[in-house]
Structure 1
Amino acid sequence: MPAQLPALQSNGQVLAEINGCLGLITLNRPEALNALSLAMIRDLSSLLKAWALDPAIEAVVILGAARMGKSPAFCAGGDIRFFHSAALAGESALDDFFTEEYALNHLIHNFAKPYIALMDGVVMGGGMGISQGAKLRVLTEGSKLAMPETHIGLFPDVGGGYFLSQCPGHVGEWLALTGHAIGAGDAIELGLGDVYVRSAAMPALIEAFRQGEQSSAEHVVATVMEHVDLAPAVDPKTLRGRIDQHFGLSDVAAIMASLEAAGDEWALQTLAVLRKRSPLMLAVTLEQLRRARSMSLAEDLRMERDIVHHCFHLRSGARSETVEGIRALAIDKDHHPCWLPARIEDVSREQVLAFFDSPWAPEQHPLRALS
């Protein structure tokens, strides 16, 4: 029987096509850089669950819709304006968003058929969550990968603890704390991407997926590999030795003191970035990465679900670091968040550990079914 498309509910924010054995998904919210809404997460989950069971579908490709006349974006993350309004209104949909998003991340990592992510342009936050579990992560010279959550008083979720902690040395801590964006060469070097395709070749690749014969999963993968090129040279700013020297230290205060003592341009620029972030959420993020290093993906996602609950409920409404961070960046756009505490020296160990105290018994955890 030919493959079937499940009913979708995001009003065109997710598009799905079938060509032979290939299921093709397009994130279609280009004006928002394809940021994920709850309806989009539900559509992606429905498609993948249906196609996982459909023998007519042998491979899946996901890409982001382009903006007319502008640079591409795969997915810029979750809809942070929704986070802000839902948190202030106390809407249960906010809890649903994170539970269902993390379950989707787990589904992608464990998807039994080739799942290929065309990571052209901006790939941040939730965009990393729906691409890092791909069997084949395709990058271009326009790819810009980051987990910038500390910028809004959040932490690198969507499995970020799991995949960032697998980066070599202490690069994961650096990426998590600073939110630094990396390009294709660095991403492949650090294990966050697989192959490089020039941006100019992407239209032909996508056209081949839509119109060319796709008779088997092997043929779908071969279609990608026909367009693969040598990745750009690794950016020397990765500075692995310096990163390990500073970001391998025991806590955020020690990292910042080490950067200040080093005094070189890179160290001082990195320190300036950290000083703009929420001190509390920097400390939570470092604890998250260190714990995740010894966790399975399912364990990490359950931990992250605990942490994100506390991001919005330990201090509710406008008192939340995350709500305040989003306000400063995206709502009022004054870029002057009022972090509490304001200094890393004033963050207590008890404040950090409170984020890791699960509000649920194991048998009641919203992600208890993940294995």
Structure 2
Amino acid sequence: MKTPAQFPELQSDGHVLAEVNGCLGLITLNRPEALNALSLAMIRDLTALLKAWALDPAIEAVVILGAGRPGKPAAFCAGGDIRFFHRAALAGDEALDAFFTEEYALNHLIHNFAKPYIALMDGVVMGGGMGISQGAKLRVLTEGSKLAMPETHIGLFPDVGGGYFLSQCPGHVGEWLALTGHAIGAGDAIELGLGDVYVQSAALPTLVEAFRHGEQCSAEHVVATVMEHVDLAPAADPRTLRGRIDEHFSLADMAAIMASLEAADDAWAQQTLATLRKRSPLMLAVTLEQLRRARSMSLADDLRMERDIVHHCFHLRPGAASETVEGIRALAVDKDHQPRWQPAGIEDVGRAQVLAFFESPWAPAQHPLRELI
């Protein structure tokens, strides 16, 4: 007889729920009113569960899903709690640094989790939600899945390992997704290597019921439970035109990309250009540099680089002077959607301004993510 699975003490006031059925550990993100956005307490609970279950022979597989809201669209996880970022940055709260260090360590843990970790990516999967799902052994999508790394919208960059997994997309699609924050559905996600299998959302209740109450006697059985419900994925969106994306987003820098889009006379190019013009010019340049560097990096090195960048997002120009604080203010606090970016135009972004984000504030032996391998 197996020893019963171990449960660490959870601290997120019910925002992370854990249950065990047979060999399966089931995690539910339970903050539906906030689209299951991650708090520091939730990150700590997820980390504690996964570390305990990694060592627990009674647990052979893990499934993670997001709690729904009756009558509302689904959300797996909409990312990190950006209002917390805003408050903490203005207050000089050290919890902000802890959030990113511990979130990135969790992302690394998931990518390297030795047992099958299955993410049910129904509904919104953005930012931090991508961080806790892209490392899954099986990424399950539905017709309601909406995947994006929209950080440039708030003067941030696609972190949580975004440099690593976006740069692995074919061609220069990763740059396009990172810079525009464009949301994609299940067909595109599978085509681009950001998802694995498709299940109709109508089948999810039966699937989750099987996870909770059906016999789950082995990791293979858990995976088979998913595969019994897999359907033919919808076709990729024809608007995701690889050739057109590569034509523009393969260019050397943001000024060249935007000039190329401006010179094109098709509607897609003009819409893409209009989107980029709403973003922080400085953080667009930082994001492009991040993706280009990450393409030749391991996940651990990418996460260390992203930890350096995010430190500078809040400390290079502290408080309200931060592009990220200003972006969150405009989108989620004052909601005027009129961010005052500095510099205001891509032509005013100097190379030295970009490179400053990539200078680590820590010696290698003191880096907060030094233990990642």
SS at match of 1:61: strand
Alignment partner for residue 159 of structure 1, among 158, 161, 164? 161
Where does residue 112 of structure 1 map in the other structure?
A: 114
Unaligned runs of 5+ in 1: none
Superposition deviation, residue 112 in structure 1: 0.1
RMSD: 0.3
Q: Alpha-carbon deviation of 1:114?
A: 0.0
Query: Aligned AA for 2:121?
Result: M
Q: 2: CA distance between counterparts of 1:25 and 1:297?
A: 24
Shift of 1:304: 0.0
Matches within 5 A, 1:72-91: 72-91=74-93
Residues 14-33 of structure 1 mapped to structure 2, 5 A cutoff: 14-33=16-35
Once residues 205 and 35 of structure 1 are traced to their aligned partners in structure 2, the CA distance between those partners, rounded to angstroms, is 23
Which residue of structure 2 lines up, in the alignment, with residue 218 of structure 1? 220
Q: Does 1:125 align with 2:127?
A: yes
C-alpha deviation, 1:252, in angstroms: 0.5
Deviation digits for residues 321-347 of structure 1 (CA, Å, limit 9, x no counterpart): 000000000000000000000000000
Please say which of residues 1-10 and 177-186 is displaced more in the overlay.
1-10
* 2-structure distance, mates of 1:5, 1:220: 20
For 1:352, give the aligned amino acid.
V
What letter is aligned with 2:37?
A: A
Q: CA deviation at 1:257?
A: 0.4
- 2:369 maps to 367
Alignment of 1:194-209 (within 5 A): 194-209=196-211
Offset from partner CA, 1:40-75 (integer Å, 9 cap, x none): 000000000000000000000000000111010000
Matching residue of 1:356 = 358
The secondary structure found in structure 2 opposite 1:15 is: strand
What TM-score do the two structures reach when normalised by structure 2? Answer: 0.99
1:183-224 deviation line (CA, Å, top 9, x unaligned): 000000000000000000000000000000000000000000
- What do the CA deviations read for 1:158-178 (whole angstroms, capped 9, x no partner)? 000000000000000000000
1:59 corresponding residue in structure 2: 61
Counterpart residue type for residue 370 of structure 2? R
Indicate the SS of the match to 1:237: coil
Partners of 2:40 and 2:363 in 1: how far apart? 25
TM-score (normalizing by structure 1): 1.00
For residue 277 of structure 1, the aligned residue among 260, 276, 279 is 279
What's the CA shift for 1:5? Answer: 1.1
- Residue 137 of structure 1 aligns to a residue whose secondary structure is strand
| CA deviation map 1:216-236 (0-9, x unaligned) | 000000000000000001100
User: Counterparts of 1:1-371 in structure 2 under 5 Å?
Assistant: 1-371=3-373
Q: Shift of residue 263 of structure 1? A: 1.9
How far apart, in 1, do the equivalents of 2:192 and 2:304 lie? Answer: 25
Q: Identity, % of aligned pairs?
A: 88
* 2:65 partner SS: strand
* Total equivalences in the alignment: 371
Query: 1:17 and 1:327 mapped to 2: Cα distance?
Result: 38
**Alpha-carbon distance between aligned partners in 2 of 1:321 and 1:3, rounded to the nearest angstrom:** 45
Distance in 2 (alpha carbons) for counterparts of 1:214 and 1:71: 29
Letter in 1 for 2:307: R
SS in 1 for 2:206: helix
> Partners in 1 of 2:303 and 2:254 — Cα distance?
23
